[in-house]
Amino acid sequence: MFDFLVRSGSKPSKKAKATAPMHTEPAASPAPPSTTQREMVRLTLHNVLRHNGIPGNWISCDMVPISLPQHGNAWLLQLVVHHWHNAPMHYAMALQHEFLEGLKRLDPHVAPQNYQLSWKFAPDCGCPHTQLPDRGVWSAPASPNAAVLVSAASNPCVGAPPATAVASAKPKFDLPQTAADLRNANDDDDDDDHGFAATQINVL
C-alpha cells in the first residue's frame, strides 16, 4: 500500500551516480594582448636597453597570455636573445628588475604578479656554449669580473676592463735632495781628461 512512498524516497544507487552526466563550463582562454599593451612592453624594453647601452636589436620581447591559478589572467614576457653576449646574461636579474620597474612607471595599476618573465634564445643568436662544461665548474668560486673578461675576449667590440696603473719610477723613499746631490748631478759629465795621470793601483 505504501510502496509508492518507499520508491519515491529511495536513494539513487552508486551506479546511477557514476553514469549521471557531468555539466561543466569550458575554461575561457586568456585574451591576446592588445596593440597598446604590446607597444607599452616594446617601448619599456627599448628604453631599458638604450639607458644601459645595450643595442636594441640584441633582445626583444614576446607576450604570451597565460592563466595563473591564484591570480587569474597574466602575461608571460619572453625576453628573446638575438645576439649572444655574456654580460647581459651575467646581469639578467638586474635587467629583469629594471624592465618590470619600467612597466610599473608606464602603468601604475600593473600588478607585479600579473607578469611572469622567462628567457628564450634564438637559434642563430651565436651562443658559443653549445655543451655543458666540466662538472668542476659549478663548485669553483665565482669571480665577479669573469663574465666581463670573457665578454671582452669573445667580443672585440666590448673593451676589456681598464688595466692597472703603471707603477711609477719614483723611488719608494723620496727624500729631499741635498746640496751634495745637486753638485753630483751637475758633475755627471765630468769624465773628460784634464791632464792628470791615470790612477795606478799598486798590488801589495
Structure-block grid coordinates of residue 19: 553514469
Report the pLDDT value the prediction gives residue 109, as an integer from 0 to 100: 77
* Domains, the chain, with CATH or none: 35-126 (3.30.300)
Taking alpha carbons only, the member of 80, 50, 48 closest to residue 64 is 80
Report the pLDDT value the prediction gives residue 47, as an integer from 0 to 100: 96
Report the pLDDT value the prediction gives residue 174, as an integer from 0 to 100: 54
Report the pLDDT value the prediction gives residue 140, as an integer from 0 to 100: 86
Say if residues 83 and 58 touch (Cβ distance below 8 Å).
yes
Query: Please, what are the averages of pLDDT over each run of 10 residues along the chain (204 residues)?
Result: 54 54 52 88 96 96 87 87 92 94 85 86 93 90 56 42 44 57 57 54 55
